[in-house]
Structure 1
Amino acid sequence: MLARFLVAALAGVALALAYEPVAVAYLMPLSLAAYALCTREVRSRAGLAVGLVFGAAFYFPHIYWMSPSIGLPAWLALAFVETLFYGALGAVSPVLQRLRSWPAWLAAAWVAMETIRATWPFSGMPWGRLGFGVVDTPLAPALAYVGVNGVSLLVALMGFLLARVVVSSRGDERRFSLAAVVLVTAAAAAPTFVPWTLATTGRTTVAAVQGNVPGRGDDVLLDVEQLTQNHVDATVALAERVSSGESPRPDFVVWPENSTARDPFEDASINAGIRQAAQAIGVPVLVGAIVDAGEQHVLNEGIVWDPVTGAGDRYAKRHPVAYGEYIPLRSVLPDSLVNSGQLARIPRDMLSGSRTTPLSIAGVKVADSICFDIAYDDGIKVQVDRGAQLLTVQTSNASFIFTDQVEQQFAITRARAIESGRYVVVAATNGVSGVIAPDGTVVDRTQRRTQDVVLETVDLKSGVTPGLEVGEVLRATTPWIAVVGVLWGILVRRRASHADGQPSRAPQAAEPKTPRHDQDLRV
Structure 2
Amino acid sequence: MVAPIVAPGSPAADAPAPRRRYVGGALSQVVLAAAGGVAVYLSFPPRTAWWLAPLGFAVLGVLLHGRRARVGFGLGLVWGLGFTVPLLRWTGEFVGVVAWLPLALMCAALIAVGAAVVALVSRLPGAPVWMALVWVADEALRSVFPFGGFPWGKIAFGQPEGWYLPLASVGGAPLVGFAVALTGFGAAHLVRARPVRGRWRAAVWVVLPLAAGPVVAPLARVEPSGGTAVVAAVQGNVPRAGLDFNAQRRAVLDNHVARTLQLAEDVRAGRVRKPDLVIWPENASDIDPFRNADAAAQIQRAVASIDAPIAVGAVLVDRSDNLPRNTVVLFEPGRGATDTYTKRQLQPFGETMPYREFFRIFTSAVDRASNFQPGHDPEGFTMAGVQVAIDTCYEVAFDGVVRDSVRAGADLIAIPTNNATFGWTEMTYQQLAMSRVRAVEHGRSVVVAATSGVSAIVAPDGSVTRRTGMFTPDALVSEVSLGREATLATRLGAWPEWVMTALGLSAAAFSLAMRRRRSRPTPGAGVGEEETDGGPAGAA
Fold-level similarity (TM above 0.5): yes
| RMSD (CA atoms) | 2.3
- Residues 1:286 and 2:286 are matched in the alignment: no
Partner SS for 1:208: strand
Distance (Å, rounded) in 1 between the aligned partners of 2:362 and 2:309: 42
Deviation at 1:314, TM superposition (A): 1.6
- Provide the residue aligned with 2:368 in structure 1: 345
Distance in 1 separating the partners of 2:397 and 2:230: 25
Within the alignment, does 1:63 sit opposite 2:88 as a pair? yes
Change (3 A) 1:229 1:416: same
Give the Å deviation of 1:317: 1.3
Q: Name the structure 2 match of 1:98.
A: 123
Distance 2:371 2:322 in 1: 6
2:209 is equivalent to residue 177 of structure 1: no
Match of 1:521 in 2: none
- Could you tell me which residue of structure 1 aligns to residue 270 of structure 2? 245
Within the candidate set 319, 322, 334, 2:345 is matched to: 319
1:486 Cα deviation (Å)?
1.4
Q: Distance in 1 between matches of 2:526 and 2:93?
A: 54
**1:190 aligned residue:** 215
Counterparts of 2:110 and 2:240, CA distance in 1: 39
Cα separation, 2, equivalents of 1:382 and 1:274 = 29
- Residue of structure 2 equivalent to 1:395: 417
Partner secondary structure for residue 180 of structure 1: helix
AA matched with 1:98: R
Q: Secondary structure at the match of 2:439?
A: helix
Q: Are the aligned partners of 1:103 and 1:164 in contact in 2 as well (CA < 8 Å)? A: yes
* 2:258 aligned with 1:236: no
Number of residues of Structure 1 aligned to a counterpart in Structure 2: 512
Hey, what's the Cα distance between the residues in 1 that align with 2:55 and 2:219? 27
Q: Quick one: distance in 2 between partners of 1:102 and 1:432?
A: 41
Q: For 2:326, which of 284, 288, 300 is the aligned residue?
A: 300
> Which structure 2 residues correspond to residues 69-84 of structure 1 after superposition, within 5 A?
69-84=94-109
Name the amino acid aligned to 1:323. F
Tell whether 2:70 aligns with 1:52. no
State the match for 1:34 in structure 2. Answer: 59
Aligned match of 1:426:
448
CA distance change for structure 1 residues 35 and 25 in 2, over 3 Å: closer, same or farther? Answer: same
- Matching residue's letter, 1:318: R
Q: Find out whether 1:461 has 2:470 as its counterpart.
A: no
Once the two structures are superposed, residues 159-197 of structure 1 have per-residue CA deviations (whole angstroms, 9 ceiling, x without a partner) of 111111122243212221113322332223313454512
SS at match of 1:69: coil
Distance in 2 between the 1:230 and 1:85 partners? Answer: 42
Q: Distance in 2 between matches of 1:414 and 1:451?
A: 23
Deviation per CA, 1:394-420, whole angstroms, max 9, x where unpaired? 000001231011111111111111111
Aligned to 2:503: 481
Gapped runs of 5+ residues in structure 2? Answer: 1-25
Between 246-255 and 364-373, report the one with greater CA deviation.
Answer: 246-255
Kept in 2: contact 1:150–1:470 (CA 8 A): no
> Residue type matched to 1:74 in 2?
A
Q: Distance in 1 between matches of 2:98 and 2:240?
A: 25
Q: Does 1:413 find its partner at 2:438?
A: no
Moved over 6 A (4+): 502-506
- The equivalences for 1:110-149 within 5 A come to 110-149=135-174
Task: Give 1:499 shift.
Answer: 8.4
Deviation at 1:321, TM superposition (A): 1.1
Residue range with higher mean Cα deviation, 45-54 or 389-398: 45-54
Paired residue for 1:373?
395
CA contact (8 A) 1:41 1:507 kept: no
Q: Taking structure 1 as reference, are residues 87 and 439 closer, same or farther at Cα in structure 2, changes over 3 Å only? A: same
User: Match of 2:30?
Assistant: 5
Task: Tell me which amino acid in the other structure corresponds to 1:313.
Answer: D
The one-letter code matched in structure 2 to 1:64 is: R
Distance 2:184 2:40 in 1: 12
Residue 120 of structure 1 and its aligned partner are, at CA, apart by: 1.5
Give the greater-gyration-radius structure (CA): 2
Distance 2:196 2:381 in 1: 59
Shift in alpha-carbon separation, 1:69–1:192, aligned structure 2, 3 A = farther
Report the CA distance shift for 1:218/1:402 in structure 2 as closer, same or farther (over 3 A): farther
1:302 is paired with a residue whose SS is strand
CA contact (8 A) 1:208 1:427 kept: yes
Task: Quote the offset at 1:152 in angstroms.
Answer: 0.6
State the distance in 2 between where 1:110 and 1:73 align: 28
